[in-house]
Chains A and B, each alone.
Chain A
Amino acid sequence: MRKVKKFNLSSWWKRINVKYSIGLSLILLVLSTLIYLVIQPAILRPGTLSRLMTSNFRTWLPVILVTIGQAIVLLGGGLDLSNGSIVSVGNVILALTVITPEEPWKNLLIVLAVIAFGAFAGLINGFFTAYLGLQPVIITFATSFVFSGLALLLLPTPGGAIPREYTDVYRNTDLLGLPISLILIAIFVLIWAFIRKRRYGRFLYAVGGSPSSAYTTGVPVTWMKISTYIISGLLASFAAIAYSLLTGSGFSGSGEDMTLASVTGAVLGGVSMSGGAGSVIGSVFGGIILGNIRNIISTLRLDSWWRTLVNALVIVVALAGPGLVNLIRRNK
């Protein structure tokens, strides 16, 4: 009996690693969450856990959304370094234009405009990289400059405000005892799990794994790649909405750190930078791990002069992780 169970566990583990390549991120997720909870003061007091969950997930949601987008682009063999600046533009537009909820249809239009901008920005990235066949790294770097310039042009100094009526909904709504931000993440993951099984999902992995063989078997490679950038842009605009609701104000550099965080999160989640391997759920784990690490650092009350360095080192070490594991494995 025991033998059978053990066999099942190892095969389950293998399946997780081979099919979703999230073994390492699962371990890190559990570990980082445990460490975070252990060092929390008053963790055993009732209500603390749910309060922490609400405050953490609403803070993480923007980064997790861009990380999902980045993961999808990476799966298709691309790279989107402009997603953070798309968040900035969205945040600036919202902070400048959203008004008190007397005319809700107007605000709805603004939100739709932000989403449309995200999709359009993604389309631009896709056009240059996939349609014209240029390198994603340098193209999205260039477009990120254009987008962040646009954000700075619209809002030179931090300002603007989102009405409280809206921010409160985002910050403090619980559904079935779970924060709304966590439920949104679950919805995105479920939608992707559905798409993953369809033709689109299969095509995506084919394109990322080997574009030329995907091309010869009739996969519309160019369109697939363009679509990943559009998805990333859309998710960045959702992230902008979440970020604006979280902070309630506008800042032209709001998404600046999210670009690198999205790549790091995806890599931590087992998504390969060379395309075709990894999973979206892994990237969500990666985003949560990053959030946990940030929280652990801030709970430790490090001297504030150390903070930038430690955060940056964590990112570099996280990026180095998969490579290090491979290096050790190869030498064995």
Chain B
Amino acid sequence: MIDSSKSEVNMSQRKSKFRLSPPLTALIVAFILFLLSGLLPNGFNTWQTAVNQGLNILRLASFIAIIGAGQTLVIISGSEGIDLSAGSVVTVGALMTYMFINGNNSLILPILLLVLVMGASVGLINGLGITYLKISPFVMTLGMAGVVQGALILWTKGYYDGEVAPIMTNIIARDLIFGIPGMIFVWIIIGIAITLLLTRTRFGKHLFAIGVNRQTARLSGVNVNAMVVLTYVLAGAMAAFSGFLLVGYTQNAGPNLGNQYLFPSIVSVAIGGTQMSGGKGTYFGTIAGAIVIQLITSLLTTMQLPQALQQIIFGSLLLGILVIYGREKSLRM
């Protein structure tokens, strides 16, 4: 039982030869869902509408996936890692961009830096609380979500006025080349960066090590506390960056902009086959998961189901995925 995580890794490696990996399954499901959505009354009837609809779904999925990038990192880091402050951080990042840039192209870079620092500091507090004060990640980040939201209310005093810079609109919201939105290129760059970070760097190697077993990681010379703090800092910065991108797309910001992306981002990580207990996962999976989530959302929206029902469906979906992928460490030996 003690070395279950190790044998599990071996087992899953062996198994993957015989069965589809979670990300691939997710992509196939996504494709089927996409075809299904074409069968709806107001679905696509020509190639052009199909391509447009596909691109649109990819664009919407990109926001879930970029918030999910930070979430993937903290979940891989193990010990019930999760970042529930991401939603509030996205909102604050978006509002800072919106209100401070105020339509001024020359302010984009300094404000982007400020936004990243904001996200990183929230992540730093999360990380310090989790490592040194031993607060469970869920509770710590949920508490910080409240603090960030409170700071937001105090800062804006309910008054949201600003404008997105024209360059941001051009890059993020409009089509860049061949009718493909710029956001998708941003997403591809982030996707490659995160994947390289996870697979090719020492950080990635150590991240999986602390996710599998912190004790053994510590004994083999990994500075576990520093790794955990750094992971939450990265996640915070990623969430803030998502806010920056999101407001470039929506062109408008309000006090609840980010919260609606929090749960989907976590579900997308789970769909992508990243183990919720840590130590195993890919960013490619999260990307596939985000596309599935966005397709389901679009399907439910075209079917005009109420928001509440979507919530129930996503909750049940997460439960189902956890049962399928996540069974492990049961006490009944």
**CB atoms of A313 and B147 under 8 A apart:** yes
Contacts of A143 in B (CB 8 A): 315, 319
Contacts of B263 in A (CB 8 A): 145
Alpha-carbon distance A308/B276, docked complex (angstroms) = 31
Task: Tell me the minimal C-beta distance from A219 to chain B in angstroms.
Answer: 11
**CB atoms of B135 and A320 under 8 A apart:** yes
Query: Restricting to B101-135, which residues have a CB under 8 Å from any CB of A?
Result: 129, 132-135
Task: Tell me the minimal C-beta distance from A100 to chain B in angstroms.
Answer: 28
Which of B266, B318, B319: most chain A Cβ within 10 A? B319
Instruction: Name the residue of chain A whose CB is nearest to the CB of B311.
Output: A149
Which of B150-158, B187-195, B205-213 binds A?
B150-158
Alpha-carbon distance A144/B144, docked complex (angstroms) = 19
Number of residues on chain A facing chain B (CB within 8 A): 52
Task: Tell me if B323 is interfacial: C-beta within 8 Å of chain A.
Answer: yes
Which of A139, A149, A323, A324: most chain B Cβ within 10 A? A149
Alpha-carbon distance A261/B329, docked complex (angstroms) = 29
Instruction: Name the residue of chain A whose CB is nearest to the CB of B156.
Output: A305
Task: Tell me if A31 is interfacial: C-beta within 8 Å of chain B.
Answer: no
Q: Knowing A156-B306, A319-B140 touch, does A305 contact B315 (C-beta < 8 A)?
A: no
Q: Knowing A150-B308, A309-B153 touch, does A132 contact B330 (C-beta < 8 A)?
A: yes
Contacts of B82 in A (CB 8 A): 137-138
Task: Tell me if B294 is interfacial: C-beta within 8 Å of chain A.
Answer: no
Task: Tell me if B19 is interfacial: C-beta within 8 Å of chain A.
Answer: no
Q: Mark A90-121, 1 if CB is under 8 A from B, else 0.
A: 00000000000000000000000000000000
**CB atoms of B319 and A312 under 8 A apart:** no
Task: Tell me if B316 is interfacial: C-beta within 8 Å of chain A.
Answer: yes
Contact of B312 among A79, A153, A260, A264 (CB under 8 A): A153
Number of residues on chain B facing chain A (CB within 8 A): 49
Q: A153-B306, A221-B331, A308-B149 are in contact. List 11 more A-B contacts (CB 8 A).
A: A135-B326, A137-B138, A142-B316, A152-B311, A153-B308, A153-B312, A156-B308, A260-B146, A305-B154, A316-B146, A327-B133
Alpha-carbon distance A263/B146, docked complex (angstroms) = 14
Contact of B311 among A148, A308, A312, A326 (CB under 8 A): A148
Instruction: Name the residue of chain A whose CB is nearest to the CB of B263.
Output: A145
Contacts of B157 in A (CB 8 A): 305
**CB atoms of A149 and B143 under 8 A apart:** no
Query: Restricting to A140-189, which residues have a CB under 8 Å from any CB of B?
Result: 141-153, 156
6 smallest beta-carbon distances between A and B, as pairs: A309-B150, A133-B330, A323-B133, A312-B146, A149-B311, A145-B315
Task: Tell me the minimal C-beta distance from A91 to chain B in angstroms.
Answer: 15
Alpha-carbon distance A40/B150, docked complex (angstroms) = 26
Which of B134, B139, B311: most chain A Cβ within 10 A? B139
Task: Tell me if A200 is interfacial: C-beta within 8 Å of chain B.
Answer: no
Query: Restricting to A290-332, which residues have a CB under 8 Å from any CB of B?
Result: 305-313, 315-316, 319-320, 323-324, 326-327
Alpha-carbon distance A284/B318, docked complex (angstroms) = 33
Task: Tell me if B161 is interfacial: C-beta within 8 Å of chain A.
Answer: no
Contacts of B133 in A (CB 8 A): 319-320, 323-324, 327
**CB atoms of B331 and A211 under 8 A apart:** yes
Q: Mark B256-296, 1 if CB is under 8 A from A, else 0.
A: 00000001001000100000110000000000000000000
Alpha-carbon distance A305/B37, docked complex (angstroms) = 45
Task: Tell me the minimal C-beta distance from B303 to chain A in angstroms.
Answer: 15
Contact of A153 among B144, B309, B314 (CB under 8 A): B309
**CB atoms of B143 and A316 under 8 A apart:** yes
Alpha-carbon distance A41/B277, docked complex (angstroms) = 52
Contacts of A206 in B (CB 8 A): none
Q: Knowing A148-B311, A149-B308, A212-B331 touch, does A315 contact B146 (C-beta < 8 A)?
A: yes
**CB atoms of A273 and B312 under 8 A apart:** no
**CB atoms of A141 and B138 under 8 A apart:** yes
**CB atoms of B150 and A146 under 8 A apart:** no
Task: Tell me if A268 is interfacial: C-beta within 8 Å of chain B.
Answer: no
Instruction: Name the residue of chain B whose CB is nearest to the CB of A313.
Output: B147
Contacts of B315 in A (CB 8 A): 142-147, 149
Query: Restricting to A234-261, which residues have a CB under 8 Å from any CB of B?
Result: 252, 260
